[in-house]
Amino acid sequence: MSNHTADGETTGPAAGGVQSVDRAVSVLEILAQRGEAGVSEVAAEIDVHKSTAFRLLGALEARDLVEQATERGKYRLGFGIVRLAGAVTGSLDLIQQGRPVCERLAEEIGETVNIAVLQEHYAVNLDQVRGPGAVGTYNWVGQLTPPHATSSGKILLAHLSAKERAAVAAGSGMQKLTPHTITAKTKLEKALAEARERGYAVSLEEFEIGLHAVAAPIRSRDGEVIAALSASGPEYRFTEERIHELAPVLREGADEISHRMGYID
């Protein structure tokens, strides 16, 4: 059970957990700076007993974040670090390559433009550029949205295998968020097939009443759909007719980002 000291600092298991995380990060930083280090060096650097340093290194080794060097007793960063860094680098690269295109499209279309990726059973917005006509100040970056109800989610779902789509649908729960949300599997599959065929997906008040959106796929170097580029706005202005008129512009933007990511048609 945790308790509090006179100055309000938490003690007990929760505090111990935070301290362990802090020490583990310090160990990674030491190895990053030195290249490799032994248990004694690590213990001295973070001011803990050798047994504590050994346990920390063991826990990090179990997750492939550190590994033992050829010289016995020495540790260095492991390939688990590369895996984690690769995920972040991919997202940062996507934002970097997509931002100029998003800025141009937001100006041209006049609505909010987003880049989203699929994470587990959510579509997650990575970047946003507001158009000159954008209403409100809502920031979608970092927001987890149900893929069956959003244009970005639909275009990402459309390019998964049937098995992967079923897993995402089961995880998301396919909730009916508005009277227009598609929750029937057969109806959704039809909408996804249509999206694949025409190269863009639409959401008409399916996520939120009064909100319309359209999204196109962004591809990686090997042609895999890795993200969605979307434009969204109020239904009174961003009408269904206007969406279909502007869809080719959005598709061209998505293709440009794909090329920037190394994709060649």
Average per-residue pLDDT in the chain?
85
Residue of 249, 232, 247, 9 whose CA lies nearest to 133: 232
- To the nearest 10 degrees (0 to 180), the angle between helices 39-46 and 13-34 is 120
Grade residue 135 by pLDDT with cuts at 50, 70 and 90.
Answer: low
Residue of 197, 257, 252 whose CA lies nearest to 227: 257
- To the nearest 10 degrees (0 to 180), the angle between helices 39-46 and 50-62 is 110
The mean pLDDT value for 204-216 works out to 94
Look up residue 152 and give its two tokens. 């970005």
The mean pLDDT value for 242-247 works out to 95
66-120 pLDDT, tens digit each: 988 776 679 988 878 766 765 665 666 888 888 999 999 999 999 999 999 988 7
Task: Report the share of the chain in percent with pLDDT over 90.
Answer: 50
Q: How far is residue 192 CA from its own chain's centroid? A: 21
Residue of 18, 46, 141 whose CA lies nearest to 91: 141
Assess whether pLDDT exceeds 60 at residue 14. no
- The rounded distance, in Å, linking the Cα atoms of 37 and 26 is 13
- pLDDT, position 12: 46
3-state secondary structure the chain: CCEECCCCCEECHHHHHHHHHHHHHHHHHHHHHHCCEEHHHHHHHHCCCHHHHHHHHHHHHHCCCEEECCCCCEEEECHHHHHHHHHHHHHHHHHHHHHHHHHHHHHHHCCEEEEEEEECCEEEEEEEECCCCCCCCCCCCCCEECHHHCHHHHHHHHCCCHHHHHHHHHHHCCCCCCCCCCCCHHHHHHHHHHHHHHCCEEEECCCCCCEEEEEEEEECCCCCEEEEEEEEEECCCCCHHHHHHHHHHHHHHHHHHHHHCCCCC
- The rounded distance, in Å, linking the Cα atoms of 41 and 187 is 62
The mean pLDDT value for 193-209 works out to 94
Grade residue 177 by pLDDT with cuts at 50, 70 and 90.
Answer: confident
- pLDDT, position 236: 93
- pLDDT, position 13: 45
Assess whether pLDDT exceeds 50 at residue 141. yes
- pLDDT, position 6: 40
Prediction pTM value: 0.67
